[in-house]
Amino acid sequence: MTDDGADVPIAYRAPMRSRDDAVAPGVAVERALAGGVCGMGGRLDSPPRSLTTALAAVDARHGERAARRLERFAALPTGTLVWTRDVDGYFWLGTLTGPWRYDEDPAAVAADLVHVRDCTWTSTPVAPPDVPPGVTATFARGGRNGQRIRTAGVGEQSAALWERSLR
């Protein structure tokens, strides 16, 4: 939402790259695209049954900053537009369609993609010239954190691309 109260679509960067360097780059993104989820790592010793329990467990095992990242991810509104990039450098656009859950499937644990939300992804990567410059710039800075993309116009551009992908 803008200062004048107008709804602006939210665009979010979701690199889905584990902080565990033993997890190969791209594994979590492949799993997310194939399984219709978006998420982040932060394996826990036992699967939490609520977000509150997960936040406490992530704080205890991975630290307060990791718990705050999870809390922000879980609080994103349904319908948030998410961008990820696969190991080949192609960008994918999705929209969050469900609430947070902990995925205890062994493949999710292996990929360190355990804190997930259901997500509908485009069926093919977004054509490189169509990727908004703000998305490209956000990923070019690097990093493993999910974050809102605040570059002016990215939300609207992402929403227009999403609408075109539905045709």
56-70 pLDDT per residue, tens? 999 999 999 999 999
CATH code for 11-165?
3.10.590
d(C-alpha 138, C-alpha 150), whole Å? 9
pLDDT value, residue 6: 56
pTM of the model: 0.93
Q: In the chain, which residues have pLDDT < 70?
A: 1-6
- Asked whether the CA dihedral 91, 96, 102, 106 is positive or negative, the reply is negative
